[in-house]
Structure 1
Amino acid sequence: MSAWMYLIVAICLEICATVALKLSEGFEKWHWGLVSISLYAVCFWVLAPALKVLPVGVVYAIWAGVGIVGVSILGALLFGDRLTAVHYGFMSMILIGAVGLKLTT
C-alpha cells in the first residue's frame, strides 16, 4: 500500500475515533471510550508507514486538516452541531491547503 493510502486510512480511523469519543460522553459510556482509544491506537499504527516516506509536516497537516473537516461535517450530521457559511469557508481553505500539499509533495 502506498504512503498516501496509509494516510487516507489513518484519517478515516481518526475521524471514527473522534466520533466515538463524542459518543462516550466524557467516558461516562466507557464502551465508546474504549472504542475511541482503540481506534486512535490503530490510527497511529497505520499513520506510521506514511511518515517513513512522506515529510512529517505534510502528513500531519493533511491528517489534521482533513480530520477537522470530516469531524465537523459528521458533527453537523450526527449531533446537530451548527455550521455557518463562515465555518464552511474556513473548512474549504483547510481542504485547499491539504490538496496543495498533496500536489506539491
Structure 2
Amino acid sequence: MAWILLIGAIAAEVVGTTALKMSSGLSRLVPSLIVGVAYVLSFTLLALAVRHLQVSVAYAIWSGVGTAAIALIGWHVFGESLTVAKVSAMLLIIAGVVILNLTEAR
C-alpha cells in the first residue's frame, strides 16, 4: 500500500509541476488551482507513504522519478531541449534510486 501511495504522490507532483508551467507564473486561475491541489495531494500522499517506507528511499524516488518525468514532459509537451547531459543526469538519478533500494533490502 505504501508504494501505491508513493506512486500517487509522484503522479500528483508531476501534474502540479506541469500545471505550474501552464499557469504562466500563477497568473492563470485554473492551472494555478491545479498546482495548489496537486501539491497538497502530493505531500499528503508522500507523508502517508513514509509512515511505512524509509524517508530517504521514498523521498529519493519521489524527487528522482518526478524530476525525470518532468524533464520528459518538458521535452515532449513544451518543446524543451533534451540534451545528452539531461539524459545522463536522469540515468544517474535512476541509478541512485536503484542503489538506495538495494541498500534498503540489506
Q: Determine if the TM-score, normalized by the shorter chain, exceeds 0.5.
A: yes
- For residues 50 and 5 of structure 2, the distance between their equivalents in structure 1, rounded to whole angstroms, comes to 9
Task: Give 1:36's aligned amino acid.
Answer: V
After superposition, the Cα gap between the structure-2 partners of 1:104 and 1:5, relative to the gap in structure 1 and judged at 3 Å, is farther
The corresponding residue for 1:28 is 27
User: Is 1:64 aligned to 2:54, yes or no?
Assistant: no
Task: Give 2:5's aligned amino acid.
Answer: Y
Q: Deviations over 1:10-57 (max 9, x none)?
A: 111101110001000101112101111101111111112211111112
SS of the counterpart of 2:82? coil
Q: Percent identity?
A: 39
Q: How many corresponding residue pairs?
A: 104
4+ residue runs of structure 1 moved beyond 4 angstroms? Answer: none
- For residues 16 and 34 of structure 2, the distance between their equivalents in structure 1, rounded to whole angstroms, comes to 7
Deviation (angstroms), 1:67: 0.6
After superposition, the Cα gap between the structure-2 partners of 1:4 and 1:103, relative to the gap in structure 1 and judged at 3 Å, is farther
Task: Give 2:75's aligned amino acid.
Answer: A
- For residues 8 and 20 of structure 1, the distance between their equivalents in structure 2, rounded to whole angstroms, comes to 18
User: Is 1:103 aligned to 2:102, yes or no?
Assistant: yes
| Consecutive unaligned residues in structure 1, runs of 5 or more | none
- Map residues 89-100 of structure 1 onto 2, 5 A cutoff: 89-100=88-99
Q: Structure 1 length as normaliser, TM-score?
A: 0.92
- For residues 100 and 6 of structure 1, the distance between their equivalents in structure 2, rounded to whole angstroms, comes to 21
Q: Structure 2 length as normaliser, TM-score?
A: 0.91
The corresponding residue for 1:87 is 86
CA RMSD of aligned residues (A): 1.1
SS of the counterpart of 2:51? helix
